[in-house]
Structure 1
Amino acid sequence: MTKTRTASTLTSFCALTLVLLTAPLPVLAADSGAEVRHAIAMHGAPKYPEDFSHFEYVNPEAPKGGTLRMAVVANGYDSFNPFVVRGVAAAGVSSYLYDTLLESSGDEPFSAYGLIAESLETPEDRRFVIFNLRKEARFHDGHPITAEDVKFSFDILTKEGHPFYRNYYADVSKVTVEGDHRIRFDFGDTDNRELPLILGQMPIMPAHYWDGREFDRNGLKPPLGSGPYKIGEFEAGRSITFKRVQDYWAEDLGTREGRFNFDNIRFDYYSDDTVALEAFKAGNFDFRIEPSAKNWATAYSGDKFENNTIITEAIEHQRPAGMQAFVLNTRKAKFSDPRVREALSYAFDFEWANKNLFYGQYTRTKSYFENSELASTGLPEGRELEILNQYRDQLPEDVFKEAYKPPVIDGKNGLRNNLRKAMQLLKAAGYDIQDGKMVNTSNDRPLSFEVLLHQKNFERIVLPLKNNLERLGIDVSVRLVDTNQYIQRVRQFDYDVITQVLPQSDSPGNEQREYWHSSNVDVHGSRNYMGVSDPVVDELVDKVIQAPDREELVNRVRALDRVLLHGHYVIPQWYLPRDRIAYWGHLERPEQTPKNGIDIDNWWIQP
């Protein structure tokens, strides 16, 4: 399932969670030998029946109308195509402009229901999937959505799109158009049970529109879509407005009822978050997720907050937090030794930062799948241990003998003790102090690196780390660049250290290749930010993708998590198990919040 994060602030709001119930048994399709389904779950059965009218976490009576004004903190955009490496796409394009074959629910781990596809057919072993399209599905120009459009979308994304799509759909071996509204995807020699669901997430684009156009060079010409909104007014790089489609073909479907209620959604771009916060309080936009603990503790006060003109809430969520961390680029020789990487982690004083900078709001991250049952804890045992034992001679003994936990700086001598441990690790890796500098004794090169940032408020996090490392003779520089330059450098792996969020869902699958698989080490634009290249990790990723049931998935993910943690590819930072939101009082939200947190697309404006 898709777990990407983009410049759009809406990306933080949408996710999947954990409720498994039963549904009516599907009908057997005589021509395909597969079950005809209105929906499909990764494991178990979908929650909602075939004739469901709406998701439980929306208000089906929500009125339509009004304008939602949002802010994006970034240095503009130069493209309306979010599916390619080239350029920086405008916020909201992928969310609002294109419909998909299936729609995921927000209150299950991973279940998907028919949107463009009225039904799907897949056998028990899921070796293929057939999508039967709705005849009423239309693009915004009235052209029907056909199987040829689906095939075109698959071909263009995997051949000319972002490398993510080639990885995501790598196990598809054949695509066959079986009729105007019927298409079949066959899979290779794989047990990849997630493929029918993630194919359902594919954005469907009009073949007739792109005929004669260059897919990665469309620039700022508004493309043709089929979703609930189309692009309206925009000012290149500064703002964009999406206008609700009044005759939207899918408006009355259960997957759409009560959602996408605003007539207009406008994004304005701000280059500085402090300016954006003041603009919010001045009434220039309506909704904000607050990323700063300091702002949350100090900036939301005054008459507007006391009289509920502006409402603030910290809403608990149960979505996996993933990993936010200092990411070390192991493509660089200086970070190729895990002992060096581990040593650096002893210089990060989370306890001081949480107390003095974050008002004690955060919890230390200890897993790539933090805040979920997928996170590894303690020592491996049971089925997880059986999985890891297959690779015992290829893994460090610490995987089996020491529970991973990031270093803690505690007490009067805590930092001194941690720096002493760091020195021991560095000496074991071939480093020593010479003339006050930490030097590699094999080549006399000093250990130094640059931390690349695009958010100024992160300097206060990095500078204490820099100061602590200087006590070890390690030179650290901090470079602040604009958002666009940062994006391009990250895509090219042109950095030593970055701060990055590695998000996860409650149902990890094919996207794990993008994060950790060795095939993506040198693929520019991939999310293998650390440069992980480990045959054990590769095999564990394959095992996660091929997990036959939920219990086995959990054990395989925990094994993968444990191996990654003991690889010391990152210095873990922190997470927050709640959404800090502020919004103007004319906005309304449903009583029930999905387990994965706030979804602004379910809100509305009071009449």
Structure 2
Amino acid sequence: MPVSPFFKLERMMKNRPHAQATARQDEMRTRWKHWAVGSVIAMGAVWGGAEVFGAEHETVIESHGYTNFGELKYGPDEVLSYVNPDAPKGGEFSQWSQGTFDSFNQYAREGTTGALNTLPYETVLTAYADDPYGSYCYLCKTLEYPESKDWVIFNLRDDVTFSDSTPMTAEDVAFTFNLFQEQGIAEYRAVVSEYIDTVEVLDTHRIRFSFTDTAPRRDVIGFAGGTPVFSKAWFEETGTRLDEANNAPFVGTGPYLLDTVDINRQIIYRKDPNWWAADLPVNQGRNNFETIRIEYFADGSAALEGFKSGVYTFRSENSSLQWATQYDFLGVRNGWVNKVELPDGSIGSGQGFVFNLDKEVWQDNRVRQAVNMMVNFEWMNETLFYGIYDRPVSFWDNSDLVATGVPTEGEIAILQPLVDDGLLDASILTDEAVMPYVSGTVDRPLDRSMLRRASVLLDDAGWVVVDGKRMKDGKVLTAEFLQFSPQFDRVINPIVENLQRLGIEAKLNRVDTSQYVERRRSGDFDLVNHSLGQGFEPSSGLRQWFGSETADDSSRNLMRLRSPAIDQLMTIVIESETLEELTTSTQALDRVLRAEGFWIPQWQKNVHTVAYYDMFRFKEIPPLSLSPIDNWWYDAEAGEALRAAGAFQ
């Protein structure tokens, strides 16, 4: 399946637990990093012949793609550089997922969706894992747009069919876009409705999107082309709704179909033998597996034992403890299983705990920082993580969008008006960018110097110690860490103990998956895990993560952040026209976001820690994505040898 740019839609999914990094989840996580969150799909400008269109007499550009910065890496009908175009087809790829599921519709609030549920879908425009700013026609042959980007026309392919063999037309594209506008979640509708003025079907395979005058021009083409395309006829015949749980994926154009499902235990997808795009040059060496199987487990430890015994055959390991101590098993010793660290050139995950700012107690940054000081990363990394992690610094780690040191002249020019208007403290102009607290204690979880500093902050905030507990206005200061995976117990319990030493009544509350999803969504938590890593081209999708307008009900702005200064900074980022402007404005935004203190950075690593049975092959790992389902293949001879040796079931 092409690495489809669901920029808006990937981010409008209800937030789901990610205790494990499955292959598809890893792919999606990476996509979220190297494109702006919900932002424009950057399509590379290969200029076609100019023509005159309409009364404006503007030059119209016709191209196979588009980019806001630089040039497209690929011309039309090129094979991707990181695939093996001669890769054999067939075999099975299997992985694991944690928890339970009762739906295949990730676009609805209700239900918990099964893994890889977007495999049956494709989009008008697509993106590739070694071109961070580019995007290309996929369900279309070419796109046309004027220099003003007031509209775009997609000239759709006439050979695209849905999985039920019916042809895809412009009517299906328009229907799907309107469906998301009518039944999609509110945070998505609120953003897109400000950008798209009209959608017009010009003929069977041509569709025009016209944009509002106020829509940021870096975003508009991406908004129009980033929606997956569903069958209008199927939706109308079945009466299916986008905002309700569904027991199977919708009818789409993608390479895989749901084959079998055992609720809460197993999902199998099978290659569509009649997939319309199998012979396209861009798909050579991709979608090579005949079946993709997902095995469900209650927790990571049980899943690892399943991997050892060959219940499934690919594992992206996210537990440092297991990676360091649990991979000296028979399969590794016999050479049946490869344990490797693969390069990851994408933007960092931005993983951390976030506070619920709707709760009054967490609206005081002094209280938030006191809690932050009780997280001793240095001890964790040495004692719990075997030294394999780094700590996130920014929401744009591993890029030049990170704010460093004191503000540059360019940043000051952006920040000064916000200081003058009283929206930011003047210290933002002179202080160095906020960095995570560094403990000098690695031999024990509690750093006493941090304890003293945190105590002073709480005293200043009015939370005084009474009978060993922090009290204010007759209330006890409490802090609950909401979790669903037992893998976090060994990490959070020492933090809880540190907070209790500080006088905070802290606890870890581990709930089942469905409760976890619902409580995160509804804001029923104090602190919860969140991955806030952004993309190389931040734009309008920022508002879903950090905008005041999304704070009441957002799958991304879990911390309920409301800041007029940040709202204005996001507008400056969105309206940036050059890469230099984008870099400077994003650095300013990063600086202010980190100063807000709603985030306690956790840990991340710059490699993929992966184990797989030695029957999978790949040409290379693209710099911005690890996506085995997309471009790895099955070595049948090696697979049969492993099976004969009893390596797996």
- TM norm structure 2: 0.88
Amino acid at match of 1:318: G
- Match in the other structure for 1:377: 404
Q: Find out whether 1:546 has 2:575 as its counterpart.
A: yes
Of residues 338, 343, 360 in structure 2, which corresponds to 1:311? 338
Alignment coverage as a number of residue pairs: 599
CA distance in structure 2 between the partners assigned to 1:556 and 1:69 by the alignment: 43
What secondary structure is seen at the aligned counterpart in 1 of 2:480? Answer: strand
Give the superposition deviation at 1:79. Answer: 1.0
- Match in the other structure for 2:358: 331
- Match in the other structure for 2:459: 427
Q: Find out whether 1:526 has 2:551 as its counterpart.
A: no
Give the superposition deviation at 1:23. Answer: 6.7
Q: Where does 1:330-479 land on structure 2 (aligned, <5 Å)?
A: 330-392=357-419, 393-403=422-432, 404-411=434-441, 415-440=447-472, 443-479=473-509
* Structure 2: stretches of 5+ with no match in the other structure: 1-6, 36-41, 637-649
Q: Find out whether 1:13 has 2:27 as its counterpart.
A: yes
What secondary structure is seen at the aligned counterpart in 1 of 2:287? Answer: coil
- Match in the other structure for 1:111: 134
Give the superposition deviation at 1:119. Answer: 1.0
* Contact kept in structure 2, 1:139 and 1:225, CA below 8 Å: yes
Give the superposition deviation at 1:322. Answer: 3.3
Judged with a 3 Å threshold, the aligned counterparts in structure 2 of structure 1 residues 177 and 22 are, in CA distance, closer, same or farther, namely closer
CA distance in structure 1 between the partners assigned to 2:245 and 2:600 by the alignment: 39
Judged with a 3 Å threshold, the aligned counterparts in structure 2 of structure 1 residues 22 and 368 are, in CA distance, closer, same or farther, namely closer
- Match in the other structure for 1:63: 88
CA distance in structure 1 between the partners assigned to 2:328 and 2:506 by the alignment: 37
- Match in the other structure for 1:100: 123
Give the superposition deviation at 1:594. Answer: 1.1
CA distance in structure 2 between the partners assigned to 1:166 and 1:389 by the alignment: 33
What secondary structure is seen at the aligned counterpart in 1 of 2:341? Answer: strand
* Contact kept in structure 2, 1:23 and 1:47, CA below 8 Å: no
Q: Alpha-carbon deviations, 1:366-387, whole Å to 9, x = none?
A: 1111222111111111212211
Q: Find out whether 1:51 has 2:77 as its counterpart.
A: yes
Q: Find out whether 1:265 has 2:292 as its counterpart.
A: yes
Q: Find out whether 1:514 has 2:544 as its counterpart.
A: yes
What secondary structure is seen at the aligned counterpart in 2 of 1:423? Answer: helix
Q: Where does 1:19-30 land on structure 2 (aligned, <5 Å)?
A: 24-30=46-52
* Contact kept in structure 2, 1:40 and 1:197, CA below 8 Å: no
CA distance in structure 1 between the partners assigned to 2:463 and 2:255 by the alignment: 58
CA distance in structure 1 between the partners assigned to 2:67 and 2:276 by the alignment: 25
Q: Where does 1:116-135 land on structure 2 (aligned, <5 Å)?
A: 116-135=139-158
Judged with a 3 Å threshold, the aligned counterparts in structure 2 of structure 1 residues 167 and 575 are, in CA distance, closer, same or farther, namely farther
Amino acid at match of 1:133: L
Q: After the TM superposition, which of the residue ranges 546-555 and 2-11 deviates more from structure 2?
A: 2-11
What secondary structure is seen at the aligned counterpart in 2 of 1:205? Answer: coil
Q: After the TM superposition, which of the residue ranges 272-281 and 218-227 deviates more from structure 2?
A: 218-227
Q: Alpha-carbon deviations, 1:398-449, whole Å to 9, x = none?
A: 4223221111110599822212221222222222222221112xx2212112
* Contact kept in structure 2, 1:317 and 1:595, CA below 8 Å: yes
Superposed structure 1 runs of 4+ greater than 6 Å apart: 20-23
Amino acid at match of 2:64: H
CA distance in structure 2 between the partners assigned to 1:420 and 1:594 by the alignment: 47
* Contact kept in structure 2, 1:220 and 1:236, CA below 8 Å: no
Give the superposition deviation at 1:99. Answer: 1.1
Of residues 133, 158, 176 in structure 1, which corresponds to 2:181? 158
- Match in the other structure for 2:107: 83
CA distance in structure 2 between the partners assigned to 1:341 and 1:373 by the alignment: 28
CA distance in structure 1 between the partners assigned to 2:51 and 2:341 by the alignment: 48
Judged with a 3 Å threshold, the aligned counterparts in structure 2 of structure 1 residues 277 and 198 are, in CA distance, closer, same or farther, namely farther
Q: After the TM superposition, which of the residue ranges 333-342 and 348-357 deviates more from structure 2?
A: 333-342
Amino acid at match of 1:179: D
Q: Find out whether 1:37 has 2:46 as its counterpart.
A: no
- Match in the other structure for 1:595: 623
Give the superposition deviation at 1:26. Answer: 2.5
* Contact kept in structure 2, 1:21 and 1:47, CA below 8 Å: no
* Contact kept in structure 2, 1:190 and 1:546, CA below 8 Å: no
Give the superposition deviation at 1:509. Answer: 2.0
Amino acid at match of 1:498: V
Amino acid at match of 1:481: V
Give the superposition deviation at 1:180. Answer: 1.4
Give the superposition deviation at 1:197. Answer: 2.3
What secondary structure is seen at the aligned counterpart in 2 of 1:363? Answer: coil
CA distance in structure 1 between the partners assigned to 2:271 and 2:598 by the alignment: 44
Q: Alpha-carbon deviations, 1:206-234, whole Å to 9, x = none?
A: 11111151313362145312100111111
Give the superposition deviation at 1:478. Answer: 1.0
* Contact kept in structure 1, 2:43 and 2:135, CA below 8 Å: no
Q: Find out whether 1:481 has 2:511 as its counterpart.
A: yes
CA distance in structure 1 between the partners assigned to 2:129 and 2:604 by the alignment: 21
Q: Find out whether 1:227 has 2:258 as its counterpart.
A: no
Judged with a 3 Å threshold, the aligned counterparts in structure 2 of structure 1 residues 430 and 26 are, in CA distance, closer, same or farther, namely farther
What secondary structure is seen at the aligned counterpart in 1 of 2:50? Answer: strand
Amino acid at match of 1:99: E
Amino acid at match of 2:168: I
- Match in the other structure for 2:647: none
- TM norm structure 1: 0.94
CA distance in structure 2 between the partners assigned to 1:422 and 1:125 by the alignment: 53
CA distance in structure 2 between the partners assigned to 1:29 and 1:59 by the alignment: 39
Give the superposition deviation at 1:279. Answer: 0.6
Q: Between the two proteins, what is the percent identity of the paired residues?
A: 33
What secondary structure is seen at the aligned counterpart in 1 of 2:612? Answer: strand
Judged with a 3 Å threshold, the aligned counterparts in structure 2 of structure 1 residues 101 and 490 are, in CA distance, closer, same or farther, namely same
CA distance in structure 1 between the partners assigned to 2:412 and 2:232 by the alignment: 49
* Contact kept in structure 2, 1:42 and 1:194, CA below 8 Å: no
* Structure 1: stretches of 5+ with no match in the other structure: none
Judged with a 3 Å threshold, the aligned counterparts in structure 2 of structure 1 residues 23 and 449 are, in CA distance, closer, same or farther, namely closer
CA distance in structure 2 between the partners assigned to 1:164 and 1:268 by the alignment: 32
CA distance in structure 1 between the partners assigned to 2:104 and 2:303 by the alignment: 23
Q: Find out whether 1:577 has 2:611 as its counterpart.
A: no
Q: Find out whether 1:496 has 2:520 as its counterpart.
A: no
Q: Alpha-carbon deviations, 1:82-137, whole Å to 9, x = none?
A: 1111111111121x111100110111222111111111112233222211110111
